[in-house]
Structure formats: structure tokens, C-alpha cells
Structure 1
């Protein structure tokens, strides 16, 4: 049997990680991996998470299973964090998942159960694993225009024109905030236009929100998701706790199925439970428990939000510093978009040849499509990157 297996396509991000590790240069810069890093290059444990973990260690009395959908306290506090008061709790079915990736996978499975002929519209570009999962599941995908390489902003006219082809039963995958890999986001007026289009065509929105709190603030980053949930008949929402709680290895996520018809909640919840059972029986609980503890304790929540705000404003400062330095070196504002993008990522809008020159000549590693992780920088390396970008011919 095993001799019939074939080597799988190489993951570009994992390959870049290995190339970076193998590079002997001491002044190399890693802008490829999608993990938050502080100024020292480390991914710290957040203070509130550490405090909750110590408390949990003292109080936890069992490691038994929780429930097929995970701990209800977790699904409740996370639904509140993402949705606020946009929809009533009785309109939300939810299940804990192994990370945001597990939530995305579960959402695709749920949509296919509802429509065996499912077609998913996906932004071009998007997080590569979206495409990989859809292909593995043999679900038809349809790209829609999103990023304009000339302006390094959203190609909104192209996006809307492409989404006109969506039909009832189709799924339209949208990034709730901090678009990965481009950093370019829709404004709320554009979001409303997308909602109007989806309601007219009957297509169902699916929102992947993995960076809430990394862009403009917790509530601001959730505003688009809440607008969709309040104004579309149905929406699937996959949320991750990896970034904003810093618990990457705990694999903590949630999938929410929201329907304006509260009568659909029971059947949606039943199917979420069933999918969890068929996939991994019970979702992991440790990270979910920590998130619940932080969000339910006023002091821990305040400290978490304060630290998250430090992370957010720190990345904004790096964006502004890089844009300013490139303006100084180039004598133009053609990189001003870097200060306007949000989240960990930005796409420079340059070709793979220049990306390769940055790697070969300067030890600067980023994805071949010029996606770079802003959190991989610090105040000292920003001028180095800016100089390298100019010298490489950008």
C-alpha cells in the first residue's frame, strides 16, 4: 500500500522556513512565517494566558472529555467576542475546533453536506491553505479578483464583477480583517455592497477571522463580520485564537453557523456535533479553557486587551517606520500603502525575481509573491529592509 503513495507538493512557507534555518548568515531576516514575534524575535506567552494557566493548574481536577462541540462556556465567550450584539445567541450554532484551520475545514465540510455540488469563491490571493483544503476535499473553487498589484489596494470593482457569478448554494469566502496575505481590507461601505450582492444572488458568506485585534482594535476588526451576520440570512464564521491570544500550539478555534431563522440553529448544531465526532471526536480543551478564563475575569481580560493593544500599535509603528524610510530612500510615496495595510502581512507587489534578490543578496526571506510578515521586523531591521528593497531594484 505505502509504495503507491506519492510525495505531496511542497508547502512554500514550510520550505522557506527550512531555507532560512539553513542560511548561515547572522544578519538574515525572516519575514515569511505567519507567527507574531516581538522585537527580540520571540513569540511570547501573553501575561493573562500565563496567569490563567497557573490558576488552571491549581484548580483543574479532571482531564475527561468535555462535549462534542467543546466547552459551552468557550463557545459562548468567543461568540460574544466575535459577534458582540449583532445577533441573538439563539441564532448561533457553534463548535470548538483544533485551531482556525480546523474551523475552516469544518466549515467547508458543513457547506458540502448542505450542497454536494458546492462551489467556493475565494479571493485571489488568499491564505494558501484555503486552496489546499478545498482541493483535497475535491470542492470546486472559483477565484475572484481582490488585490491590485498596481495600487497595492483592493480591486473592488473586479471583486464585485467576479462575485456576480455566485449563485444560491455557493459559498463566498471572505477575510474578516487583516487580509492574508495582502494586508489590504475592504471598508464598511464596500462590505455593505458585498452584503447587498450576496443577498441578491443567494450565495452564502463564509468569514475567516484569524487576526481580530491585530488591525484597528477588537471591536473595529469585528465590525465587518458583525455587519454580515446581522444582514445576511446565513453566514459561517471560522475564528482563531492563535494570534490574538498567542496560543498557537494549543490549537484553539471555533466555527459558528449563524442564521436569521432561529429555527435552523438546532439542526446546524447537530451537524456541527456530528462533524466533530467524525473528524476527531472531541476538540482540544486546554487552550479553550484558558481563553474562557481570560474573557470571563475582568482583571485578566483588561490585561489581555492591554497587551494585545501593545502588539497592534507596535505593528502599526513598524508599518509607518518602513513606509517613511522607503519614502526617504526612494524620493516617492509609492510604498505609502504599507502604512495603510493592517495586520501582520503586506504584499509589496513586486515580482519573484526581486524577492529572490532580497534573499540571495541580503538574507531577507519572504514568500515568492512578496508577502512579508511585518511582525518579523523591529526598529533596527526596518532600515536594513528598506535599503535592501531599494538596492534590489524596487
Structure 2
């Protein structure tokens, strides 16, 4: 069956992981793969997660199936975390999924089935799984401007001009806090403009979220999606707990739909889960539910999350300062203003290859950098290499 099949091109991030693992250099630096690393270069298990897992192990008496939508307690905990009091619980449908990518897939496939003529609008740039899933489903897609490379900031006018062409029923895929690979977030005024645009055109916003708490704090980071939920009759959210709970391998995700037809939406989500993977995994979801439902665990998690946020912000400031010294200019000053794990540094694919081959510094081919991969020891060397190669 497979003798004449040409394997698909490997995902560029997965390919980069393999290249980094095979590199024998002891001073290599991985700034490509999007995982958080401590100042010691480790991806730790959060103490609150360990405590929650220990309690679950002690009390759990069954590994029987949960419902097709996952545990209702987990869904409710995620609703409170993301949407707060923006809309009543009676207007929010939800379902658990195996990670954020599965949540994205469930939203896109649901919309494709219910509104097959809809166009999905995606930002330029976005993550590779977005166009890959859209194309696999046979959906129509268009790009909208997002990043102004010259200033390292949001191209607000270009974004709103492009999205003004969206039609009723189209899906506008938006990035929650710290989610766009550029490191640039819309300001609250931009979210308000997007809500007004959707109200005017009838397009439906779809927010992909994985980094709540990495930008300016849990509440501030949710302000944009909450504004949309308050202002519009229908909003889709795909959320992941991989990053802010450090549960990468547990695959914890959730779909939330703000709608007046909660029961019908939950029926669609349950049916989609059944067809694609049946029951969503429960262990990681139970960990998240316990942390968000227990005051002591929740406080410990919030403190750890704040510490992670401060590490990344400190890495940004330190790298921007080191680059200022290495280049004699403020060319890379935008790095300190960005939020979360990622930034685009303006490197060409050829320059990315040089950084990897000559200096052992690994970036994705479009020049995206994961600042959480930096350490205090590595920052001077990374700054010197960037100044040399990007000169």
C-alpha cells in the first residue's frame, strides 16, 4: 500500500527538534521549540501540578471513561479561567480535547460542517497547524495582515482593512495573548475594533489561546477574549493547558463556544469528539480542574506562573540590552516590548541556517525565537551571534 507513497514534508518545528537532538555541541541553544525553560534550561513540572497529581493518585478509585465532552468540572473551571463573568455560564458550551490542536480541529470541522461555504481568515504570520488543518478539511482560507516588520508592532490598519472584507458566517482566527509567533499582541482598543468589525460584518471570531498568564497576568491576558464574548452573539475559543500549566505531554485542551444554543452546540461537540477520538484524556484535565478549584493549589500555581512570566520578561530585557551593546543601536529594542515566549527577529532562512550551522543557535526558518529558551549564560553568545549574522 505504501510502496509508491511520497511521505509528507515533515513539520518544520518537529524537524528542528530532531536536528537539535542530533547536534553533539554542548553549547547549542534551542530557541525554536515552543516550550518554557527555567533559568537552568529545564522544562520543569510545576510544584502545583505535582501536588495535584499526588492527591489524585491517593483518592482516585477508577480509570473508567468520562463523558464524550470530558469532565464537566474541568470545562467549567476553564470557562471561569478564560471568560470569567463576561457571559453567563448558560451561554457557554464546552468540550475537552486532546490538546489545543485538537480543539482547533474540532472548531474548524464543526464550522465546516455547519457552514461549508465559510472562509477562514488567518493572520500573516500564523502557526503552521492552522493552514494545514484548514486545507485538509477543504475549507476556503484567506490571510489578513498582522505584523509590521519595520516597527516590530501590530499592523492595525492593514489588519482591519483586510478583515473588513469578511462576510457573514466567515470565521476570523485570532490569536489570544502571547499566541502569535511574532510576539505582538493586539491592545484592548484593537480587540474592541475587532468586536465592532465582527458585529458589522457578521463574521465570527475564533480565538486560539495557549499562553494566558504569560503576558501581563491571568486577568489582563483574558481581557480581549472577554470583550468579544460580551459584545457578540457567538465566539469560538480553543484553549490549551500545555504552556501555562506545563502539561505538554498530557494533551489538555478545551473548546468553548459562546452561543444562545448551548445544548445544540454541546451535542455537536460531543458528536465530533466521538467521531475523531471518542473520550478526551482525563488525567491532565483532572489536574487542571483540581488546581483551579482549590485555593491553596491555585495560589501556588499562580505564583509559579508569575515567576515564569518574569523569567521570560527578564530574558527579553537582557537580550535587548545585550544586542544594544553588540550592535551599537536600538535595532532590536522591540524585543523588550513584545509579550510571551516568541518574537520574530527579522532573520532570513539563509541567516537562520548560518546561526544553526556556525553558532549552534536553533531558530525556526522564518526567524521566530523562543525567548524562554535563553539562559543568562547563553544571552551574551546569542547576542553576539545575532549581531554578526544579521549585520
After TM superposition, list the pairs within 5 Å mapping 1:1-394 onto structure 2.
Answer: 1-259=1-259, 261=260, 264-394=261-391
Distance in structure 2 (CA, Å) of the matches to 1:369 and 1:312: 24
- 1:83: how far off? 0.3
Asked whether the equivalents of residues 33 and 370 of structure 2 are also in contact (C-alpha less than 8 Å), the reply is: yes
Q: How many residues align?
A: 391
- 1:4: how far off? 4.9
- 1:361: how far off? 1.6
- 1:266: how far off? 1.1
* 1:172-210 C-alpha deviation (Å, 9 max, x unpaired): 000011033110011001111111111101000000011
Distance in structure 1 (CA, Å) of the matches to 2:23 and 2:5: 31
* 1:337-363 C-alpha deviation (Å, 9 max, x unpaired): 101111111111222222122112211
Distance in structure 1 (CA, Å) of the matches to 2:62 and 2:335: 48
RMSD: 1.0
- 1:40: how far off? 1.9
Distance in structure 1 (CA, Å) of the matches to 2:331 and 2:212: 28
SS in 2 for 1:325: helix
SS in 1 for 2:3: helix
Per mean C-alpha deviation after superposition, the further-off stretch among 35-44 and 164-173 is 35-44
Asked whether the equivalents of residues 179 and 208 of structure 2 are also in contact (C-alpha less than 8 Å), the reply is: no
- 1:155: how far off? 1.0
Asked whether the equivalents of residues 236 and 255 of structure 1 are also in contact (C-alpha less than 8 Å), the reply is: yes
SS in 2 for 1:277: helix
SS in 2 for 1:2: coil
SS in 2 for 1:215: coil
Distance in structure 2 (CA, Å) of the matches to 1:193 and 1:180: 18
Asked whether the equivalents of residues 179 and 210 of structure 2 are also in contact (C-alpha less than 8 Å), the reply is: no
**Structure 2 unpaired stretches of 5+:** none
Distance in structure 2 (CA, Å) of the matches to 1:73 and 1:44: 26
* 1:120-173 C-alpha deviation (Å, 9 max, x unpaired): 000000011111111111111101111111111111111111101110111000
- 1:273: how far off? 0.8
SS in 1 for 2:43: coil
**Structure 1 unpaired stretches of 5+:** none
Per mean C-alpha deviation after superposition, the further-off stretch among 177-186 and 87-96 is 177-186
Per mean C-alpha deviation after superposition, the further-off stretch among 134-143 and 297-306 is 134-143
